[in-house]
Amino acid sequence: MRLQCFRQPLRQFAQQVAYPPVGAVRSLHKTRPAHEIPKPIPFVPDVNTFLTLIGRGLNKHASKFPTWESLWSVTGPQLQELGIEPAGKRKYLLEWMHRYRRGSLGPGGDFRFVNDGQALLRVALSPKWPHKQRLVVNVPFEPQAIEADTTEEAGQVDAKEQEQAGEEAADKEVEKEEIQADEPAPDSYPRPRLYKVRGLRSIAGPYAIPVKQGSIVKVTEGMWEHKEGRKIDGGERRRAEVRFKRRSAERRAEREAEMLGNM
């Protein structure tokens, strides 16, 4: 009896409640604005250079992105449709795209003067400091600064240049006069953050190749790559099991060899 008393009011209340249609419900990601397409920088002028810098063999997919905008407007499912496998590579590419938008770049990302994938670095004297601090600056590219042998042997310092550097360090007075006459003003050129002066004229930093007038930095495969770890003995979860089985197999082989020797 009591239930029948409450049925009629509940029916009237249910008729007054209006539920929204299913088609009116929209997910949050459908209304979120698309990511902003960043602009190329001097060290990363096109898609192929960007994929070459981040490594992991992604530059072989450069032909799938005909324009700069086509890369930066792509999504995860679209990368899967383009055949970029496995999923870890897609995640790695999307992470680097996010880092590029934030300006968190690797070596060369703050270069301003780049010519054909190469940047020239030189040592400059800062007039603002009382002792004239030496700084590394990125200057406009000079073809005469690069010798023919350095293009063939990238990353290796010639023995003659090492001997010359030793002689220059020994004769400091003459060297100071030459540097003051030749070095550019540091205020007018950008200062790369990952490169510093070592000694009198040497430039230390990632992928810096010494030349006569300073150092050059070239676009190299995997220059910005985050290296993947290696699984040793099956990784952390299976390491004890793999090593136990290996020791068991070694002991079994020793027992069999001992039994064959006693026969």
For the stretch 104-161, pLDDT in tens is 999 999 999 999 999 999 998 877 666 678 889 999 876 555 444 444 444 444 444 5
H-helix segments, 66-205? 68-72, 76-81, 87-102, 148-152, 159-170, 172-182
CATH for 88? 1.10.150
Distance set, CA 117 to CA 44, 49, 70, 220 (Å): 8, 8, 22, 9
Domain for residue 78, yes or no?
A: yes
Number of domains in the chain: 2
In this structure, of 60-69, 176-185, 248-257, the range with the lowest mean pLDDT score is 176-185
Residues 125 and 200 in one domain: yes
Using the structure block, give the residue that is written with the tokens 């030349």: 211
Using the structure block, give the residue that is written with the tokens 């990511």: 35
**What are the pLDDT digits (tens) for 158-180?**
444 554 555 454 444 434 444 44
Round to whole Å and give the CA distance between 204 and 220: 17
Residues 127 and 212 in one domain: yes
Angle among Cα 219, 184, 210 to the nearest 5 degrees reads 40
Residues 158 and 188 in one domain: yes
Which of 59, 81, 105 is at the close of a domain? 105
Domain for residue 26, yes or no?
A: no
Residues 185 and 153 in one domain: yes
Domain for residue 111, yes or no?
A: no
Q: Which of 54, 143, 148, 164 is nearest to 105 (CA)?
A: 54
Q: What percentage of the chain carries pLDDT values higher than 90?
A: 46
Domain residue limits at 40? 34-105
What local confidence, expressed as pLDDT, does residue 155 receive?
46
